[in-house]
Structure 1
Amino acid sequence: MKRNSIIFGVLLGTVLATACNTEEKNKTSPPNIVFIMSDDHAYQAISAYGHGLNETPQIDRLAKEGAIFTRATVTNSICAPSRAVVLTGKHSFLNGKVDNVQPFDWDQNNFAKMLQKAGYNTAMIGKIHLDGLPQGFDHSMVLPGQGHYYNPDFLVNGERKQFEGYVTELTTQFALDWLKEGRDKEKPFLLIYNQKAPHRNWKPAPKYLTLYDDKNFDPPSNYFDDLTNYEGRGTAAKEQEMEIDGHARWGHDFKFEVDPKGDSTGFTRELERLTVEQRAHWREAYNPKNQAFLEAYPQAEGIAFEDKEKEREISIWKFNRYIKDYLRTIKSVDDGVGEVLDYLEENGLAENTIVVYTSDQGFYLGEHGWFDKRFMYEQSFRTPLLVRYPKEIKPGTEIDKLVQNLDFAPTLLDYAGVEVAPEMQGKSFRSLVSGQSDEWRDAVYYTYYEYPSVHMVKRHYGVATERYKLMHFYYDIDEWEMYDLQKDPNEMNNVYNDPSYGEVREELHQKLEDLRKEYGDSDEMNQKYLKAYLEYRNNQQ
């Protein structure tokens, strides 16, 4: 009995000493950083934002235990340029990655390089969508290009390897493997953990193939915006190619192997990447649903000219197929966030670890009838942002200031005690989110360059304040749009030429001119990148 008491005392002393050492280390060590970025995750599809579309209990933990940003925005709403802005803290026209096609220069500075130099152990795992070997990371395991949902390839420190499984689950597992076994536990760490989901074409995990089958979603109130030919807007809204009912494809997007006309869609080729077992599960889940649609709406493609009510039903069916698959992929993302948060808590790391959850931009979930992003209109321009850091951020904090992805690099460097690089254009929001200060910018600047291209969203730039938004669409048109977000949150009525907004319009023009000068943008810069883009396209043809 005495011997057992001695052993118990020794064990208790060891546990207490370890706990004390961990607590003391947490007080003196720079914070660890887990930066989680998904692809095309709309803020509307995170339950903490209150839209009631789906449940994301794990991501919501960050809002409950930290801060949620309700007006976080991006500088350029398209995948690769947004990621380049996050890394460099510079606008697209300065970091050089203005669109998805032109190359990214990894030799320029980024916040991971600076943290690595300051003694951080660094890793990037998942999707980055920037060509070349990532610089600034002791370990990288990234998807080449867009990557695949099933049985994906990863570039492991530059070496291509294929792994069997579902990409979201694999990315989470590889991130946890690095946290458990791959990192130097004597150093603070930076883990950039990026998910492919919920990027198009929204292939769910095997276990979620039938999630939401028992539910019908109502489309947004302006889902049938096209029926009025986008009245109240300009040419850009009318000429886009991102309508769920009109531009989404029976195969790639709606998962039909044979379309309503009986023609092959090519989706069968996509399923060839799946194993025999995976394909069997997929077809078991989707074929009955597809067959039920074909029986209910024979020759669906021709109904538009014969029966307006059936045309409407088909359009709503397409919305449901899209939104269900989109939300199914998010369920796996949410699961992964929970696994990582659980690991941090179970290993005494939560208190001294900054956890950021965000997306590379927002996304349309049927607003205006659309999917995709690119526009400066609100659902694309805004992005989710949730941050937890128990040492400084009070649980349940809500920030409504105009924070941008331009600010991520300066903020993380600030937390790490590393001097922000002078070329970085963002601002640290550390004092803002801790409640030490409420001073912040009153406007943000936006650019979009990739046109003519997929989805045909015209080139534009603009300025947004807390209430108003001014945009200039250029290149093949010359049109201005202005919106009063307080009176018109869905951006249905362009008030640029409304005389009652004359004074506001002049103020926004001045603000736009000031921001372009401050950040170093100009019409000449636009022409430079337009010329480079067109030359690149011509060389590819």
Structure 2
Amino acid sequence: MMNILVITIDQLRWDALACAGNKEIETPNIDRLGKEGVRFTHAFTNAPACMPARSSLLTGRFPHAHGVRGGGVRLSEQEVTFPQLLSQRGYHTAHIGKLHVQNHTYRDHTAPHPSYGYRTLQVTDERGTYRDPYTQWVERNHPEYADAIRIEPGMTRVRNQTDHLSGNGSFPAKASHSHWVSEASIEFLQEFGSSPFMLWSSFFDPHSPFIVPLDLLDRYDPNALSLPRNCEITAENEAMIRQKKAAYYTLVSHVDDCIGKLLDYLDESGLSERTAVMLSSDHGEFLGDWGRWGKGRSEDESIRIPMIVKAPNIKGGGRVVDDIVQLFDLAPTICDLTGSMKPHSMQARSLLPLLRGEEDPERAPFALIELNSEVSRIDTAEVFEKTLRNRDYRLTVWSNQEKGVLYDLRLDPLQLNNVWSDSSYQKIRDKLIWELLQRLIQTENTLPVRTNPF
């Protein structure tokens, strides 16, 4: 039976990897995975926010189907997840690191977390915020840094508007959350690697705030990095922007170091011969482009993600696939690789044909990305946003606006010129709107299942 290792790197841009053509950043271990596996160049999230994206990965379902339409909405424990399906197949299922399909603010992190089909759970939805497996690991192994790794709780950060700040940590890399994820993952493999396993190793970095370990502060020279696109650069903000970008790159490279240790263990233990490795992110990061930081928008910086899959008995060798794929496609792919059942409620499509170098005519030639944003907590008003992104166009519509946006990516790859109202694009716009509507209808929720005619 094939083992599964899923690696997610929170808020990692699709182009923040050397193997994706970025000449400023060093990611040798992820590059190595790309050389051995298959890299998908046009992978997109299901939602540019943590909770709905991760819920889609777990279920293989769109946000409008599983109900986690945005942050602050818990994933129902009635949903069928791929860890449940693999557990039925006899796998030891485990999650180490950030899960974030439950609200983490105002939750008792010492209480048992809903299992969602996992047999082993070490959940830390933030970095150094709560009393959780990570902070307890630091207390046991690096007690001198127990206070240093602490940051203010999430709700405090939102109120103080510090969520996208960066800073120099007063703890070394050996006490970082990323180091803990890799160490705990290797410990799991040492204990349970002899039995069929599915392990999701989930790194929080480089999610904001960008806190850099003290022994990594000089890893990148801010002045050697390019400046953001479509961003107003002034004498007052340039140094800050460069410093934040350097901090982000440092955290990406630190995660890469930790992934390298995990991959090395797979090789040294012989597990790599029967383990499929899947690497991706839940969403991107603006990193100063458009003058923004974070995610939560429909531009490519926010919705486009990296994706690499390496599987035994599947020819990789650095092959590149340009087909449109989405984050939740990993769920049915895992089911196929392990011989597990796939419920009819699963809406994603397996990557197995593409991994084998075959065409997949049944695959939708576009991505559907969804997000709901809260506009008023007083009357719980929300705005619904839907995006269709194919190779040539990006169309986005909102529930509170009569007009949307349409970009011709062939002529306008940076998405600067909205042609929604351009009469020469009317037929294309209408066709894309129809495709979006059809996709939404085709993926209506079919849970709970129909048990009788009436």
TM over 0.5, yes or no?
yes
Separation in 2 of the partners of 1:459 and 1:368? 22
Separation in 2 of the partners of 1:387 and 1:415? 12
- Identity, in percent, stands at 28
Residue 509 (structure 1) aligns with: 433
Note closer, same or farther for the CA distance 1:114–1:496 as it changes in structure 2 (3 Å cut): same
Contact 2:393 2:409 in 1 (8 A): yes
Secondary structure of 1:41 counterpart? coil
Residue 524 (structure 1) aligns with: none
* Aligned residue among 170, 174, 187 for 2:184: 174
Contact 2:280 2:327 in 1 (8 A): no
Instruction: Indicate yes or no: 2:373 matched with 1:450.
Output: yes
| Structure with more helix by fraction | 1
Note closer, same or farther for the CA distance 1:136–1:217 as it changes in structure 2 (3 Å cut): same
Secondary structure of 2:182 counterpart? helix
Contact 1:483 1:493 in 2 (8 A): yes
* Aligned residue among 48, 63, 68 for 1:97: 68
Stretches of structure 2 that go unaligned for 5 or more consecutive residues are: 103-112, 143-174, 446-454
Shift of 1:220: 2.9
Residue 403 (structure 2) aligns with: 479
Shift of 1:34: 0.5
Segment of structure 1 superposing worse, 423-432 or 362-371:
362-371
The two structures have a TM-score, normalised by structure 2, of 0.83
Stretches of structure 1 that go unaligned for 5 or more consecutive residues are: 1-29, 225-310, 522-541
Note closer, same or farther for the CA distance 1:160–1:129 as it changes in structure 2 (3 Å cut): farther
Separation in 1 of the partners of 2:38 and 2:241? 32
Shift of 1:153: 3.7
* Aligned residue among 8, 12, 33 for 1:37: 8
| Structure with more strand by fraction | 2
Contact 1:89 1:426 in 2 (8 A): yes
Secondary structure of 1:40 counterpart? coil
Separation in 2 of the partners of 1:316 and 1:127? 32
Contact 2:223 2:242 in 1 (8 A): no
Residue 200 (structure 1) aligns with: 208
Secondary structure of 2:405 counterpart? strand
Separation in 2 of the partners of 1:517 and 1:357? 30
Note closer, same or farther for the CA distance 1:44–1:215 as it changes in structure 2 (3 Å cut): same
Separation in 1 of the partners of 2:136 and 2:64? 31
Residue 463 (structure 1) aligns with: 388
**Deviations for 1:31-52, whole angstroms, at most 9, x for unmatched residues?**
1110001110111211110022
Separation in 2 of the partners of 1:345 and 1:218? 36
Residue 154 (structure 1) aligns with: 132
Instruction: Indicate yes or no: 2:138 matched with 1:138.
Output: no
Contact 2:388 2:436 in 1 (8 A): yes
Instruction: Indicate yes or no: 2:49 matched with 1:74.
Output: no
Secondary structure of 2:185 counterpart? helix
Shift of 1:422: 0.9
Shift of 1:155: 4.5
Contact 2:222 2:242 in 1 (8 A): no
Separation in 1 of the partners of 2:69 and 2:180? 30
Secondary structure of 2:433 counterpart? helix
Instruction: Indicate yes or no: 2:420 matched with 1:496.
Output: yes
Residue 22 (structure 2) aligns with: 51
**Deviations for 1:99-131, whole angstroms, at most 9, x for unmatched residues?**
111222233210011101101111100011122
**Deviations for 1:402-456, whole angstroms, at most 9, x for unmatched residues?**
10112111111011111211100000010111113343321221211023289xx
Instruction: Indicate yes or no: 2:364 matched with 1:441.
Output: yes
* Aligned residue among 438, 443, 453 for 1:519: 443
Shift of 1:216: 3.1
Secondary structure of 2:35 counterpart? helix
* Aligned residue among 315, 320, 323 for 1:393: 315
Secondary structure of 2:15 counterpart? helix
Shift of 1:162: 5.9
Alignment: residue pair count: 397
Residue 14 (structure 1) aligns with: none
Residue 198 (structure 2) aligns with: 190
Bigger-Rg structure (1/2) = 1
Shift of 1:458: 6.0
The two structures have a TM-score, normalised by structure 1, of 0.70
Residue 275 (structure 2) aligns with: 353
Note closer, same or farther for the CA distance 1:312–1:215 as it changes in structure 2 (3 Å cut): closer
Contact 1:153 1:161 in 2 (8 A): no
Separation in 2 of the partners of 1:383 and 1:345? 26
Note closer, same or farther for the CA distance 1:138–1:221 as it changes in structure 2 (3 Å cut): closer
Code of the residue aligned with 1:482 in structure 2: it is L
Shift of 1:338: 0.5
Residue 382 (structure 1) aligns with: 304
**Deviations for 1:449-493, whole angstroms, at most 9, x for unmatched residues?**
023289xx9641121222111111233x43310011111111111
Secondary structure of 1:53 counterpart? coil
Separation in 2 of the partners of 1:161 and 1:216? 36
Shift of 1:327: 1.1
